[in-house]
Amino acid sequence: MRILITGGHGQVGQALVAELQSQHSIVAPDRSTIDIGNTGATQQIIELKPDLVIHAAAFTNVDACAREPDRALLINGLGTKHVALACHRLGIPMVYISTNEVFDGEAQRPYLEFDVTRPINPYAYSKWVGEQVVQQLVSSFYIVRVAWVFGGSRNFVRTMLRLGQERQELAVVDDELGNPTYAPDIAAAIRQLIKHPAYGVYHFVNEGYCSRYDFAREIFQRSGLTRIVVDPIKLADYQRDSTPPRYGVLRNFVGATDLGIRLRPWQDALQVFLEEIQSGSAR
Ligand SMILES: NC(=O)c1ccc[n+]([C@@H]2O[C@H](COP(=O)([O-])OP(=O)(O)OC[C@H]3O[C@@H](n4cnc5c(N)ncnc54)[C@H](OP(=O)(O)O)[C@@H]3O)[C@@H](O)[C@H]2O)c1
C-alpha cells in the first residue's frame, strides 16, 4: 500500500515510518511541505494519491494549546478536517491518532472505546473536534487513542532523565493517572490494525497504568538515578496552563478482544526505551 503519514517527523510518526517502511511505500511530508492547517492541504494530499492516510500530525504542546486555543482548533480540528476531506474524496481509509484527553477523567474505571467523551481543556477539545470531523467525513476510519507517549526526543521520560541529572529533589504529581505508552508499540499495533477492515475506535496503550509520580520513580529506579528525592504533590498545587484529566486511563478492549492486538506492560516498554537511550540507538 501507498501510505501517507502526517507528522512523520514526530514521535509516533517516526515510529510509524520505521515500522511500515519495509512492507509499504511511505510518503511522510513534513510541515514545510504540507501544513495541515492550510485549506490547500486537502488538494496536496489528493495529488499524492495515497491508499491510506495515517494522520499523526498535531499541535501537541498541551500548555501552549491552552494559551492559544484558536491555533489548537485550527491545527488539530480544522487541520484534521482538511486531511479527512482528502480521504473522503479519494474514498480511502484514514487512521486518526487521538488522545486519552478526550475524556474528562471523572471515571471510576479505565475508559473503554465506547465511553462518552467530554474534553476539559483546549488541546482535548481540539483533538475531540478532530474525532468528530473524521467520523462525519470518512466512512472507513480508525480512531486510535493513545496516551502519555514516549519514544522520541521530547517526552516525560527524557525530561525526568534530564532533571534527574540536574537536581537533588523533584516534585511530581501523584493524582494524575494514565498509561505510559511506547511509540514503537503504537506503530506495531497500527501495522496489525490496518490489515483488517475493522473500522472504528481503538485504545492502543501499553498494559497497566500509573501516576506521574509512579512513572517518575520507575524511570529513576531503572536508570540507576536513585540519589534523587521525588516528592508527591497534587495536581491542584502544580501551576500549569492546561488542566489534564485526573484519571486519563484507557483500556484496550476492542483491539485486544476482536483482533488480538495487545501492547506489552508499560514497564517492559520503558525498559526497552531506557536501554535504547543508553546504547545511543533511541530516536
Ligand atoms: N505525546 C503524547 O503524549 C500524546 C498523547 C496522546 C495523544 N497524542 C497524539 O499522538 C499524535 C502524535 O503525537 P507525537 O507525540 O508524535 O507528537 P509530536 O512529536 O509533537 O509530533 C507532532 C508532529 O506534527 C507536526 N505538525 C504540527 N503542526 C503541524 C502542521 N500544522 N502541519 C503539519 N504537521 C504539523 C509536527 O511537525 P513540527 O516538528 O514541524 O512541529 C510533528 O512532526 C498526535 O496526534 C497527538 O495528539 C500524543
Q: Where are the domains of the chain?
A: 2-153+180-208+249-265
56 pocket-lining for ligand 1 (C-beta < 6 Å): yes
What's the CA-to-centroid distance between 142 and ligand 1, angstroms? 18
Instruction: Identify the residue whose C-alpha is closest to ligand 1 atom 38.
Output: 31
Q: State the CATH architecture for 2-153+180-208+249-265.
A: 3-Layer(aba) Sandwich (3.40)
Higher pLDDT, 283 or 108: 108
61 pocket-lining for ligand 1 (C-beta < 6 Å): no
For the stretch 46-99, pLDDT in tens is 999 999 999 999 999 999 999 999 999 999 999 999 999 999 999 999 999 999
CA distance 280 to 283: 8
Q: Which residues pair with 5 in a beta bridge?
A: 54
φ, ψ for residue 279, nearest 5 deg:
-85, -5
- pLDDT above 90 as % of the chain: 96
For the stretch 13-53, pLDDT in tens is 999 999 999 999 999 999 999 999 999 999 999 999 999 99
Told to judge if 123 belongs to the known catalytic residues of this protein, a careful annotator would answer yes
Calculate mean pLDDT across residues 152-178: 95
Instruction: Identify the residue whose C-alpha is closest to ligand 1 atom 11.
Output: 56
Instruction: Identify the residue whose C-alpha is closest to ligand 1 atom 41.
Output: 31
What's the CA-to-centroid distance between 60 and ligand 1, angstroms? 5
130 pocket-lining for ligand 1 (C-beta < 6 Å): no
Is 0.85 surpassed by the pTM of this model? yes
Placement of cell 520503558 in the chain: 270
148 pocket-lining for ligand 1 (C-beta < 6 Å): yes
What's the CA-to-centroid distance between 13 and ligand 1, angstroms? 8
CA distance 76 to 56: 10
* Nine cell digits for residue 3: 501510505
The one catalytic residue in 123, 202, 209, 213 is 123
Contacts of 122 (CB under 8 A, 6+ apart): 65, 66, 69, 72, 73, 242
* Nine cell digits for residue 261: 492486538
CA dist 14 to 5, 97, 174, 192, 243, Å?
9, 14, 30, 17, 28
Contacts of 236 (CB under 8 A, 6+ apart): none
